[in-house]
Amino acid sequence: MAEQTLFSEKDPSVEERLAAEALIVDVDGFEGPLDLLLTLSRTQKVDLRRISVLELAKQYLTFVNRAKELRIELAADYLVMAAWLAFLKSRLLLPPDPEEEGPSGEELAAHLAFQLERLQAMRDAAAKLMARDRLGRDFFARGEEENVARIKTVTYTANLLDLMQAYARIRTKEDFRPFVMDRDSVFTMEEALDRMRHLLGFTGDWTDLISYLPDGWHSDPVKRRSATAATFAASLQLVKEGKAELRQSETFAPIQLRSLDEDE
Amino acid sequence: MEDQMMDGPSTSGRTENDTLFDAPPMAEQERMVEAVLFASAEPVTLRDLEGRMPPGCNPREALEHLRKRYEGRGVRVVRLGEAWAIRTAPDLGFLMQKETTELRKLSRAAIETLAIVAYHQPVTRAEIEEIRGVSVSRGTIDQLLEMNWIRLGRRRMTPGRPVTFVVTPEFLDHFGLESARDLPGLKELRAAGLLENRPPPGSLPLGQGDSDDDEPADEQAELFEE
Amino acid sequence: MEDQMMDGPSTSGRTENDTLFDAPPMAEQERMVEAVLFASAEPVTLRDLEGRMPPGCNPREALEHLRKRYEGRGVRVVRLGEAWAIRTAPDLGFLMQKETTELRKLSRAAIETLAIVAYHQPVTRAEIEEIRGVSVSRGTIDQLLEMNWIRLGRRRMTPGRPVTFVVTPEFLDHFGLESARDLPGLKELRAAGLLENRPPPGSLPLGQGDSDDDEPADEQAELFEE
Name subunits touching C (3+ CB pairs < 8 A). Answer: A, B
Residues of chain C with Cβ-Cβ distance to B159 below 8 Å are: 212
Contacts of A132 (CB under 8 A, 6+ apart): B175, B176, B177, B184
Lowest mean pLDDT among A223-237, C35-49, C95-109: C95-109
At A168, is the secondary structure helix, strand, or coil? Answer: helix
CB contacts of B224 in chain A (<8 Å) are none
CA distance A127 to chain C (A): 21
Task: Quote ipTM for the complex.
Answer: 0.61
The arithmetic mean of pLDDT across residues B52-74, rounded, is 94
A11-61 per-position pLDDT tens digit: 556 766 666 666 666 666 788 889 989 988 888 877 777 888 888 999 899
Mean of pLDDT values over C116-120: 91
Residue A10 scores a pLDDT above 80? no
Between these two residues, A17 and C30, which has the higher pLDDT value?
Answer: C30
Q: Tell me, which fold does domain B108-224 have in CATH?
A: Arc Repressor Mutant, subunit A (1.10.10)
Interface touch C176/A160, C-beta < 8 Å: yes
Q: Which of A38-47, B117-126, B177-186, C4-13 has the lowest mean pLDDT?
A: C4-13
> Among A71-85, A169-183, B7-21, B124-138, whose mean pLDDT is lowest?
B7-21
Residues belonging to chain A: 264
pLDDT tens across B160-193, in order? Answer: 889 999 999 999 999 999 999 999 999 999 999 9
Domain spans, chain C: 24-95, 108-224
Question: DSSP string of C15-40?
Answer: STTGGGTSPPPHHHHHHHHHHHHHH-
Does the pLDDT at position A109 exceed 80? yes
Residue of C90, C178, C212 lying closest to B153 (CB–CB): C178
Facing A122 at nearest CB: one of B131, B152, B200: B131
**Predicted local distance difference test score (pLDDT) of residue A39:** 86
Residue type at position C115: A
Say whether B192 sits in a helix, a strand or coil.
coil
Q: Average pLDDT, stretch B141-164?
A: 91
Instruction: Let me know if the fold of C24-95 is the same as that of C108-224.
Output: yes
- Select from B4, B75, B141 the Cβ nearest to the Cβ of C192: B141
Question: Is residue C97 over pLDDT 80?
Answer: no
Q: Please, which residues bridge with residue C123 across strands?
A: C165
Mutate to test the interface with B, among A139, A150, A162 (most CBs of B within 10 A): A139
Q: Pick C194 or C160 by higher pLDDT.
A: C160
CA distance A150 to B28: 23
| Residue of B152, B158, B164, B172 to mutate when probing chain C, most C C-beta within 10 A | B152
Q: Is the pLDDT of residue B67 over 90?
A: yes
- Domain at C24-95, CATH class: mainly alpha
Residue B132: its pLDDT value, please? 93
Mean predicted lDDT score pLDDT of chain C? 77
Cβ C182–B154 below 8 Å, yes or no? Answer: yes
Q: Is B68 on the interface with C (CB under 8 A)?
A: no
Q: Which residues of B touch A126 (CB under 8 A)?
A: 111-112, 114-115
Residues in chain B within 8 Å Cβ distance of A31: 108-109, 132-134
Q: DSSP secondary-structure letter at A108?
A: H
A58 and A19 in contact (C-beta within 8 Å)? no
Tally Cβ neighbours within 10 Å of residue A193.
18
What residues form DSSP beta bridges with A257?
Answer: A207, A246
pLDDT at B181: 92
B68 Cβ neighbours under 8 A, 6+ residues apart: none
Q: Measured between CA atoms, how close is A22 to chain B, in angstroms?
A: 21
What are the CA-CA distances from residue A241 to residues A190, A207, B147, C54 (Å)?
Answer: 15, 18, 65, 97
pLDDT digits (tens, 9 = 90+) for C179-209: 888 887 767 777 766 654 444 444 443 333 3
Backbone angles phi, psi at B150, to 5 degrees: -130, 160
For residue A32, give the chain B residue with the closest CA. B134
Q: Number of A:C CB contacts under 8 A?
A: 129
**Neighbouring-strand partners of residue C150:** C167
Phi and psi at C79, nearest 5°, equal -100, 130
